[in-house]
Amino acid sequence: MIHFENVGKRYASGREALSGVSFNLEKGDMAFITGPSGAGKSTLLKLIALIERPTRGTVLVDNQNTSRIPRRRIPYFRRRIGIIFQDHKLLADRSIFDNVALPLLISSLRHREVSRRVRAALDQVGLLEHEKFSPLSLSTGEQQRVGIARAIASRPALVIADEPTGNLDPDLSLEIMRLFERFNQVGVTLLIATHDIELIDKFNCRRLRLDQGRVVEMPKSNGL
């Protein structure tokens, strides 16, 4: 599903965030990207979503070479990926329902289908009864779940998440990760960036550690 080959990313500032990253993520896999703050986790995910372009190397997403996707096709490419952000990126002036509906409306789905999918997604994250409220009325953990609902509402085959538990306490974090695990069980490919080693020790998943701008494959934990 995701294939990186000798990928480097140097920002305009001159900072080299990634230098020679190579890895492969199979369809249906779930993997964590770890590494300390500043290791390049966000950068790696941004290359997948075409929020940034690599300065060298090849990134394939779903067998598609992302360097061949012209700027005007990027929105359509992104619609196939569910993206979850550490800071949720919810719109405070729209209801929870409207936030989750946003990507579906952008894809101009018919209204009945939009409602159906939004409710299904909100149901999966356990927030169905909050659909009319503003995101501001929710706790951080709940807001994060709205962000997750928005990412999965369009039923993407690939979901990437950048520190989805960054602001949450351990219990809530575990709950979120269990949610991801459930998505994975129905076939969604997931790539999750986090610096929370203790948390991911609880899952029997691949772990890619970013170190000095390179990916080091860590042994799978046995998922205690």
Partner 1 sequence: MSFIYRYLSLHYKNLVDALTRITEQPLGNLMTIVVIGIALALPAGLRVMVSNISTMSDSWDAAADFTIYLEMTVDETRANELARNIEQRTDVRRAILIDRAQALVEFQNYSGFGEALETLQVNPLPHALIISPTGGSTSDVSELAMALEGMEETALVQLDTAWVKRLRSILELALRVVDIVTVLLGFGVIIVIGNTIRLEINNRQDEIEVIKLVGGSNGYVRRPFLYSGFWYGFGGGIVAILTIWGVLGLVNSPARALAELYDSSYRLIGLNFMETLMLLGTGGLLGWAGAAIATARHLRDADPE
Looking at residue 100, its amino acid is: V
Nearest distance from C-beta of residue 121 to partner 1, angstroms: 13
Looking at residue 206, its amino acid is: R
Residue 128: how many other CB atoms lie within 10 Å: 16
Residue closer to partner 1 (CB basis): 107 or 167: 107
Please give the residue ranges that form the binding site for partner 1 (CB under 8 A): 49-53, 71-72, 74-76, 78-79, 83, 85, 89-91, 93, 102-103, 105-108, 110, 150
Nearest distance from C-beta of residue 112 to partner 1, angstroms: 11
Nearest distance from C-beta of residue 4 to partner 1, angstroms: 16
C-alpha gyration radius of the chain: 17
Nearest distance from C-beta of residue 119 to Mg ion, angstroms: 32
> Is the distance from CB of 24 to CB of 2 less than 8 angstroms?
yes
Pairing of strands 214-218, 56-61: unpaired
Chain-centre distance for alpha carbon 88: 11
Residue closer to ligand ADP (CB basis): 40 or 103: 40
43 contact, one of partner 1, ligand ADP, Mg ion, none, CB 5-8 Å limit per kind: ligand ADP
102 contact, one of ligand ADP, Mg ion, partner 1, none, CB 5-8 Å limit per kind: partner 1
> Is the distance from CB of 192 to CB of 204 less than 8 angstroms?
no
